[in-house]
Structures are given as C-alpha cells and as structure tokens.
Structure 1
C-alpha cells in the first residue's frame, strides 16, 4: 500500500470517462505517513491523469479505448443517474455517435492535448478559487461557468499551472475519519460538456471512497516507517574501527514481504588482542516480530562476546537463550520460528580464523591469488533446536584473503536452489581478483542478486590484515619472582625501539603486577606478549584457569592493590580463556595523558617493585 499509488489510481479511474484532467493534492504529512493536525500549509500534487487528445466524432471514442484506460466509469450504487453522463458527450460534431463516422471525418487531426500539471509541485490555493472555498468549507464545489469564461480560465491557470481553456471544474476535499487529507480536482475543457449536479454527486462518492483508501495507505506508511526505523536502530549504523580486517557490508530488504523488515543482521565486534569477531545471522520470517527477535539475538551476541568465548561456546549460549525465550512465552505469544548464526574470530597476529555455525550457510573464502572455495564448516541445526554438540573449524588465512559471509537470501529464491546460487557466487568472486571489501560487496550483488529478491540479504566481506612481526614481542617467563625485573627491562627496550618511551612507566607497573600474579598463583608455561596495534596491548598468559578479581584493599592489608593500579593505568583490561589456561590482557592508548597518580599512594606503587627488595 502506497499513498501516491492510491492517489494515482483515483486520478486514473476518472480519466477519460469522467474528466479530461484529474489532479490529487495532498498535505506533506499525509505523504510521509503522518496525520495532519493543522491545516496551514500548501498542498503537494501527488497524482495527475490527463486524457488523450479529443478527436472529432467517433475518433474520440476510439481514443478512449486505448492505453489510457476505459471510456466509461461505473458509478457507485445509488448514483445511477450519473451513469447517463458516461460516456460523456462533446459539443457539436463530437456528440455524434460512432455509427455516423464516415469518410474523411475519421482522419481529422487530434486537438491539442491538455498540458500535464507537474508532479510534486507545491500548490497554494487563494480566494476566490473554488479550491480555496472547498478547503475552507470542507465541502465539494462545482465551479459555475461565468460569462467571461476566458478570464476565469486565465485566473485558474495562474493558481494551478493549467493552461487556459477550462470549461468546468469539480473540486472535492479528500477526507477520512473527519480529517482533511487533501484535495481532488476534476477538470473538463472547452470540447467537453460542463459538469452538472449529478456529476458532483459521482465525484463526491468517488473521492469519499478513495479517501478511506488513501488514509489506509497513509497508516500503512506510518507503520512501515516505524518498523524500518526500529530495524535500522537495531542494526549497526557504521562498522567500528579496528585493524584486523578491512570490512564492508550491504543490507538489502526484500521487495516483497511484511512491512519491508525482517530478521537478517550482521556485525563486526572488536575483541581484545587486536582480534575481531565477524557475525551474520538470520531470523526466519518478516515483520516486527522477526525484527525484534533479531535485536534480542544481536544484543546477546554482543554481550556474550565480552566474555571472549570461543565461537562454539558462544553459539551454545545463544542456542540456550533461544530455547529459554521460547519456553518462557505463553500459548498466545509468537515463538522464535527459526534462527541461524555464523560466528567467526580472526586473529591478525597469527592469521588464524576460528568459525562455528548454527544452521547458517558457511562463508566463501577468496585467496589472495583469486582462488575461491567454500571451507567445510561443521554443520549443526538452527538455534533453539538443541541436538548434538557442534564444533569449530580453524582456517589459516594469508594476508589479503577475503572472507565472504552472507544470508541465504543472496543465494536462494523461488527460482534458484542453493547449489546454483553458490556456484553463481563462486563465479562472481572469481571474477573480482584483488578488489577491496567494498568493491567485492558491490560486485557480488551486481552478479548474484536477483532483480526482485523475495528475501532480505545481508552480506559481510572481511579482507584480512596481518600484524607485522616487528610490532609483536613475546617472552617466556621463569617461575621466579626475580625474573620480573628482566621482563621489565625487555619491555622498556622494546617500547624505546617503537618510540613509545612515554608509556614505559605505566607499562612496567602493569606488567609487574600481572607477571607477579602469574608466578604466585598461576602455573607454567607463563608468557608475556606485547603488541603495537591501534593501542598498546599487554598479555600475560599462564596455564591456570583461575581469574584475577579486582578488590579494594583495606588500609591494613599488605597487598591487594595491584589490579587496582592496573585498572587505573590501562584503558581496558580483562581475562580470556583459550583452549588451555588463561590470558590477562590490558590496552593502553598510544597517546596517553597524564598518569592517574593523584589518588594512588606511594605504598601501592612501591608494592609493584617488591622483587627488588633484598
């Protein structure tokens, strides 16, 4: 349902059987889906229909049966008298029936066609035009034909943009539920009979019924705007800054469906250690329920990603969440009818990408040399169905590889199965060697997307980057408190080589605490990794799974202040759990401000260098 299309249908149904020209002007709020509360502005011409040129005698009837529409218009019940005026006659020879058409009269030239008023033009009706009277009284007006017809036509032309030569006008307010939406104008020119009272009744009935349809379309437009706004608010407005991949996306709503919204989503989530999570998901169905469900699942993925879980564990939590949501709903509530998700984590330090899926198609992989493949990702049922445990796949990706993640709307439709769609995708990617992520997105859509997609499409392309080996430093740590001093020295030397001497004090303090904790409470092997990416990243790994916890030490405590100092000097810090052990990490800005020393005691600072005590 569309306001402009409905207005155009009102204009088209009355031409040429009832009028030579019909215009429909509506208030701007109506066209935008809103309900006008006041009437103090101009109208915008939303629809125009113009009859073909009038031909002499029977040629007029022949023209009216062409592409412009039927020659007669059937009035509503209760207005049978108006039917006597359709098909309407013309003055002089044009009122002769088609049976008298003979000889050269059928070949006479057509009269000039009325000028087509421009669409989307703002129109202001001022007194003494019939339109201003109709707007003021909220009643239809049949404009009389004054003695000075030429003068009246010229004045009307100045108000409406129509050329002189008008013979008769009916102007009818477009209303619904007592609200004025706009104005419909029916015009006849000099070659046509003028309108009469029966025609006025027909026009009122026609516009009255059309007004209800226009208002329904307006309300649909309003609901559609709300749904689209909701969906856009739930999808990322822009991709976040990160150094792991060059990412680009496309999201295209289906051209058929319920309110033009659905449950497809995509995401790029920066993770600690310069890593990034790439997500594509799909909720079955269309409409607000699918969109709302998508918002809940996308939020859940964001929350679970802060725990820095492996892809298979994160999807297991998401699967349990979907089951919990469905179990908590009442009998009359709409359940999650089906949802899928593909989740990948890429580490630019190692080039390793770990992927897991729940019922979602696996990605396409484009190697730097242009080779295209579809890596085998362990298959599992969609979210919320439970089933057997699933596992991850690990890929080693060279720099400038392209990982292409998509929803099934890209490769399947009513006329194409998934195998055909995947082969088309392979061919399209093979023809895009060396392209950027954004160019790859556009090239794929141009080659694979059907002309009228019946499902939404989410496409995410990530072109991998690798951290230079010179931007990574790693040291093994002996389980001896005296080894902390060696680590501090090595870190200071590396920061000097990187031109980050200003970060030496804070970094030494952070690593002193983290390494000391690993030696005291962790297990071997213990390693320290320093990375210079978008920030300075410090990582201390050990074989224990015991997580450190920040607490406020009492004044009489001899220790317990280390993690507090870490939280003060680092922008972010946390713990993640690889396959074995744990990694405690911190991030510091490469352009730090003044150290936060105002509320840190001397004792707390000295605690971090207790390995130097005799």
Structure 2
C-alpha cells in the first residue's frame, strides 16, 4: 500500500515501515533527499543495507519498545549521513510491526522540539488539543485526556471522546458549534472564550479556544484542530474588575434608595450570583437611620434579580416585609459577611425551623452569601446572594470582592437616604408655606397642587396662593422664585408674605405688582454679591396676580414675567390662554405692568400655573397637555376640583420634569342676585335716613332683623361721611355671603383714618364706632374713587 504523498522539504522527515525480518516494506519519497536513492530502491531491501551505525537492524529495533537515539545511514555514494531516529512499535500490525522516523541531524533539534510540543500538548493540564473530525454528526473529537481530567488511553495516547461526554451539554454545544463553523467556512477561530464546565463538577472553568481547519491531500476539509487554553484565573480576575467597574459606574448615579438597590442586584446577576436581593431597613426607606442590626428590625425586600428572569416563588417576594431574628442579628452583627458554602449542611446545623429556611433560601440554591450593608456607622440592610448547582460554591475567597461592592452600594444607599431626608425637609417647608390646597367660597372653588422636579435639586420656588379680599372678592396668585432647595423655599415664603401684605391694601393688579417690584428692588440691594443675586434672593422672581369679583364677574390680572393662566369656558371643548402681556420680572425693569380685564361666567375654569410659558404646544410639553386636559374636565361638569387635582398630580409624577410645578385650578362662581342689593344715593344729608331704611328693609328680607341696629349705625355713618367729605353719587351695596358685607362708594380718593376723639370733640367717633361694630373694615381705591367696606359675622343660627 502506497503511503499518501507528502510535501516534506529536502532533508526533512523520512518514515520507514519495517517488518519483523528487518525488510523495508514502505517508505516516504523523502528518502531520496536523505540518501539519494529512490523509494523503489529502498522498499523490499533489508534495513541493514541502509544502516551505518549502530551496525544492524537488530540494534535499531532494540527490545521492541519505543525509543529515540542517534544513528547514521549510508547514501547512494556510500557516504555516512548522521540522523536522529525515533522507533515506534506498531503492535496492532503483525505485517509491519516497526515504524522508524529518520530526521537529518542538522534538523533534529527542530523536530525534537516539535515532538516535545506535541507531547506537552497531549499530557499537560492547562492546554488541551482537540482534533475534531468532519463526520456529519459532528460529535466525535480527539482530546488529550489530562486537560479534561480524564485518564489516558490504554496506549498512552489521546482519547477518542465526544465533547458533550466531558463538558456540560450547554457549554459543549456552544463550543462545538463554533468548531462546526470553522469546518464549514475555513475561517480560523482566535481566542474565543466560553465556559467549559466539566460534567458532574462544581467548579467554574473558562477556556480560550483557537481553531483552524485541516484539509486532506486533495484540499477537502478533513477536520478541525482546536487549542483549548484554561483561562479560569484570568477570567475570574477580569470578572472581578468588571464587577468593580460596573459597581463604580452604576451605583450612586441615582439619589433614590430603591433605585440604588435595584442597580446593586443588577450588577451582581448573573456574573456573581444566580439570585440576588437587597433587603433595606424600613426606617431607611422612610429616610430615617438605624445604628445596628437588632432582633425585630424590619426589613423590606426592595430589589430582586434572577439569572433566568424569574424570582423563586417559594421565598420572600419583592416588597415583602421580613423581621430579623436573634440568630440572624447575632451572625451578621458579630461576624459580618456570612458565607454558606453548603446549604444542605446548614439546615442540619442551625436551629432554624423549616418554614424560615424555605422563606430565606431558594429551593434551587446550593450556596449563599449574606452581606450587611453598612455606611457611616449605620446599618442600612442586608444583601443576599445565592448560587445553584453547576456553579462553584461561595467561599471565603469571594468575601473581599463582595464586601467592596457592598461598601460602595451602602454608601450610595446612605447618600440617597440623606438626600431623601433633606428633600423631604425642603418639601415639607415648601408645602407648609403654601395655602390650604382646597377652598370653597361664593367666589370660587379652588384646588392647588405642587409637583417637585425629578432632578436632584427637587423642590424649587414655584408657588400659588388664594387671598380673600374685601367684600366677597378673591385674589388668585401664582409665582416662581429663581433657584432650588431650601433657599428657594424660604424666598418663596418671603415673596408670598409680601404679596399678601400688599393684597390687604386692595390695590389693582398692575399697581400691586408695581409696589411689589419696588419692594424686590429694595430687598435686592442686600441680596446681591458682586452684582449677582445671592441664594434665596427675590431678584428675577415672577408673579401673576388676578382678582375676581363674584358679584359682577369681573376678573382683572397683570403679570410680572409670569405665563398667563389657562381659561376654559363652561361646557366648552376648547382651551384659551387669556391675552396677558407679561411685564419684566420683579426687580429687573421699570416698565409698567399691563392690566387685563375679563368677564367670567359661573362654571368657567381658570388655571394658574408656574410654567411652561404660553405659546408652547401641549403636545410638546407634557405638563401643559395634562393641565389642559384637567381644565377641560373641570369645565364639563361639577366634578370636585380636589379629585381632578389628585388625578393630575399622579399624571405629572409619572413623567420626568426638570423644574417643579405649582398649579391652582379655579372654578369661578357668582353670588346669586337675591343675595345682593345695590342703591345709588345723592349727596344729600337726608339720604342718610333713607340709607338706614333701605338697610333695615333688606335685612328683614334676608331674615337678619337681629343685625339691623348695628348695621344701620354702620351704614348711616359711612353714608354721612361720604356726603360730608366726598360728594355724590354715592353707592351702597350689601352682600349676603358667609358674612354680611356692606360697601359704600364715593368719588373721593381721600383715605379715611381712624382716630380716638377727645371728650370735648364734637366729631371723629364715626370710624371708631364702625371698628367696634364690624369684624373687619377697610377701604380700597377704584377708578372712580374709593370704597369703604365692612364685614360682620352672623349671630348664631342666622346666615
């Protein structure tokens, strides 16, 4: 049988098959390069004709065992050629039991190194050589046994096995799939890393696979040669670095406790654990703090993660509450990180009831780690980790890595807790400085809400207010102070107080904003440093001020750099923005503020907000879209505004927001005509008695006869003063609301002053008498003069 043709270079390897009698039966064509003789001249002739030293075939064959030695052969000219000989017995062949491999001495070193390389690949345990054949089933491979922990074959050579016989089926399938791809395409595979876990083992093993296709003499694919290198240690080191890098990048990005807990378990699964949970102290979730692990401490499962995406149903679930027991607090409090390499043995060693074990350990877990989350001397919770069968159990070597990650996580949790506490404090301050969210008067039904920003800054300077004015009128206010946090909340309180003080003067909106602008400029002189406003300054704040009279339906408003309100008419399907030309922000200019006058009908809805500015389409700004939707819903029917405000707040909190938002929903009303009375009087002293008669008659009609005496005195004094000092015409208006309101108007803008008359004075006691009889009184300027008003509470059982 002729051996396959080879392409060995001159002076290369020569192979001889020799029978037991020492006759050469086959040889390679390379014998010509070595001896100068053709293959036909060698085959069939005794081996001794070639041998120069040692003298004879018998000494070359030795005792029949494998051997390597130096020797010499004769070439065709009778010259000596030194060679290195490797004799390999072929016991399975009776016809040709000996294989001699001859290499010229000049090339012997290279071939010895090559043979040593092959022997090393086939015997050592850190590098494996796999020769996969081209069989259609693609399952058969030749491997060096030591690398895969298998015994050597009976002949001391490689073992004929299937990858799935030595590796976990999942790993074997992936690796063999890549080898099939090399066989199909011929493209080499270089440094492909994958798990190569041994069947029946518990240790993780990772290999780097490099492979290339083998072709036969005809150039057809004959198989694949693959080199497996054990990179378990390198992979573990990279995994540690990857985990640390991921923890450093992801933990602490959020200032939310629950979000940080979710990031922690996401970092650890599946690389470090099959299941992970973060149980956070219930106190910490409420922005509080605990000093140490104690029995009875309440934990809440804040975050969970599983490698397969399904959390085990038999143990505590996300959001469940669990209490620390004595044994657990002692173990975690004194030892710190708790390593459980074998959960089966733990159940036999610890005095823990079966139900507790079931709730704490997944059925598929075989080992566990429990790490207390501590930062700045406070215990924040516990990190629980589990691994299942097929993975290396947790051991003490895992502790340094997980403790470093847990330390980072605990610090991020504590930062989030401290931020949440500070934010809650600021929000509490902000909300305490805002008025009651819901009010209901004859003038309007209102509902206010405040939505903090989604940014770390959180609370800003947005605010709203409802101010009760003289008579039955109200003022609706919205504003925004520059900045965020505690300083903005404090500045907002200052600005709101200033607006309330000016509102008590009953000034028209534009005039009130002018006074407010002057006030901010004066205050701003001490709120600036190097030309820049300090934190908490009122400089640059905005304000929208509107007044509404439920008797006439008139609404007056003006704006200092603030967006106008949203208006929806009763039973209307459209939203309109009242034309309000915002003047300069407070403290930034001397331009006048333009007033706007509207007439509102009962049921109309007016929504004041702190932004975004008018002109932005609702579809471009989610806040405006939600606001318009709520305004339309409020105008369609009589649904309580408080309910709409709650729904609107939920919608707003679902979407991120860069700035905080304050909203005031207002559904205006009207005082029924039968609860108001108006007369116009001339500037005649006799009109005082007529005013008293009109007053008494109207009170009797309203069933308020008991109030007639005091009310007649008030009306008589106010009308008399108007006749004496202001002239006519004089307006007298009475309104029966939650209080009895009396108003006397005259064309004079002279402000009345209360003074105490001496016993010798003939006059000067009128306003003093009014102050004694009325609960509140005051005056306001109008375009035509002024109005003096009083308010009286009803006696018990009236009104």
- Scaled by the length of structure 1, what TM-score is found? 0.77
CA distance in 2, matches of 1:445, 1:119: 26
Write the deviation string for residues 302-332 of structure 1: whole angstroms up to 9, x where unpaired.
1111111100011111212222232212427
Write the deviation string for residues 219-259 of structure 1: whole angstroms up to 9, x where unpaired.
1111111121121112223233421123334433333x243
* Higher-RCO chain (CA-CA 8 Å, sequence separation at least 6): 1
Counterpart in the other structure of 2:433: 234
1:122 is the counterpart of 2:321: yes
Shift in Å, 1:147: 8.1
Contact 2:565/2:607 (8 A) holds in 1 = yes
User: Aligned runs of 1:123-142 on 2, under 5 Å?
Assistant: 123-129=322-328, 131-135=329-333, 137=334, 139-142=336-339
Classify 1:300/1:576 alpha carbon distance in 2 versus 1 (closer, same or farther; 3 Å): same
Counterpart in the other structure of 1:588: 792
Counterpart in the other structure of 2:387: 188
Residue of structure 2 aligned with 1:513, choices 704, 713, 717: 717
CA distance in 2, matches of 1:133, 1:422: 55
CA distance in 1, matches of 2:618, 2:578: 26
1:367 is the counterpart of 2:569: yes
Shift in Å, 1:355: 1.3
CA distance in 2, matches of 1:10, 1:450: 24
Classify 1:304/1:592 alpha carbon distance in 2 versus 1 (closer, same or farther; 3 Å): farther
Contact 2:344/2:366 (8 A) holds in 1 = no
Shift in Å, 1:173: 2.2
CA RMSD of aligned residues (A): 3.6
Classify 1:159/1:427 alpha carbon distance in 2 versus 1 (closer, same or farther; 3 Å): closer
CA distance in 2, matches of 1:470, 1:415: 41
Counterpart in the other structure of 1:598: none
User: Aligned runs of 1:196-595 on 2, under 5 Å?
Assistant: 196-255=395-454, 257-331=455-529, 333-334=534-535, 335-336=537-538, 338-368=540-570, 370=572, 372-409=575-612, 434-436=636-638, 438=641, 451-591=655-795
CA distance in 2, matches of 1:564, 1:379: 42
Contact 1:250/1:458 (8 A) holds in 2 = yes
CA distance in 2, matches of 1:459, 1:377: 18
Shift in Å, 1:363: 2.8
CA distance in 2, matches of 1:311, 1:279: 10
Residue of structure 2 aligned with 1:17, choices 259, 271, 274: 271
Write the deviation string for residues 328-363 of structure 1: whole angstroms up to 9, x where unpaired.
124272345632222111111112111111122223
- Scaled by the length of structure 2, what TM-score is found? 0.60
CA distance in 1, matches of 2:343, 2:508: 84
Counterpart in the other structure of 2:24: none
Report the count of equivalent residues: 534
Counterpart in the other structure of 2:128: none
Contact 1:31/1:218 (8 A) holds in 2 = yes
Write the deviation string for residues 440-487 of structure 1: whole angstroms up to 9, x where unpaired.
768989999994443333333333322233322223334343432221
Please, which moves more after superposition, 22-31 or 281-290? 281-290
CA distance in 1, matches of 2:648, 2:342: 62
Contact 1:428/1:448 (8 A) holds in 2 = no
Contact 2:275/2:386 (8 A) holds in 1 = yes
Please, which moves more after superposition, 208-217 or 477-486? 477-486
CA distance in 2, matches of 1:122, 1:369: 49
Larger Rg: 2
Shift in Å, 1:50: 4.3
Counterpart in the other structure of 1:606: none
Contact 1:47/1:119 (8 A) holds in 2 = yes
Shift in Å, 1:417: 6.4
Counterpart in the other structure of 2:15: none
Contact 1:227/1:259 (8 A) holds in 2 = no
Shift in Å, 1:392: 0.9
Contact 1:352/1:395 (8 A) holds in 2 = yes
Structure 1, gaps ≥5 residues long: 54-66, 69-111, 595-614
Structure (1 or 2) with the greater strand fraction: 2
| Paired residue secondary structure (1:560) | coil
Classify 1:217/1:428 alpha carbon distance in 2 versus 1 (closer, same or farther; 3 Å): closer
Contact 1:149/1:167 (8 A) holds in 2 = no
Contact 1:240/1:270 (8 A) holds in 2 = no
| Paired residue secondary structure (2:319) | coil
Write the deviation string for residues 276-315 of structure 1: whole angstroms up to 9, x where unpaired.
1111222344433333322222221111111111000111
Classify 1:138/1:507 alpha carbon distance in 2 versus 1 (closer, same or farther; 3 Å): farther
| Paired residue secondary structure (2:458) | coil
Shift in Å, 1:157: 5.5
| Paired residue secondary structure (1:240) | strand
CA distance in 2, matches of 1:26, 1:177: 16
Classify 1:471/1:150 alpha carbon distance in 2 versus 1 (closer, same or farther; 3 Å): closer
Counterpart in the other structure of 1:33: 287
Shift in Å, 1:141: 2.9
Classify 1:412/1:219 alpha carbon distance in 2 versus 1 (closer, same or farther; 3 Å): farther
| Paired residue secondary structure (2:435) | coil
Classify 1:544/1:185 alpha carbon distance in 2 versus 1 (closer, same or farther; 3 Å): same
Contact 1:153/1:166 (8 A) holds in 2 = no
Counterpart in the other structure of 2:38: none
Classify 1:462/1:277 alpha carbon distance in 2 versus 1 (closer, same or farther; 3 Å): same
Contact 1:410/1:457 (8 A) holds in 2 = no
Counterpart in the other structure of 2:167: none
Shift in Å, 1:577: 1.1
CA distance in 2, matches of 1:48, 1:459: 34
Classify 1:373/1:2 alpha carbon distance in 2 versus 1 (closer, same or farther; 3 Å): closer
| Paired residue secondary structure (2:744) | strand
CA distance in 2, matches of 1:482, 1:24: 86
Structure 2, gaps ≥5 residues long: 1-254
Contact 1:11/1:49 (8 A) holds in 2 = yes
Contact 1:245/1:464 (8 A) holds in 2 = yes
CA distance in 2, matches of 1:358, 1:433: 27
CA distance in 1, matches of 2:321, 2:650: 37
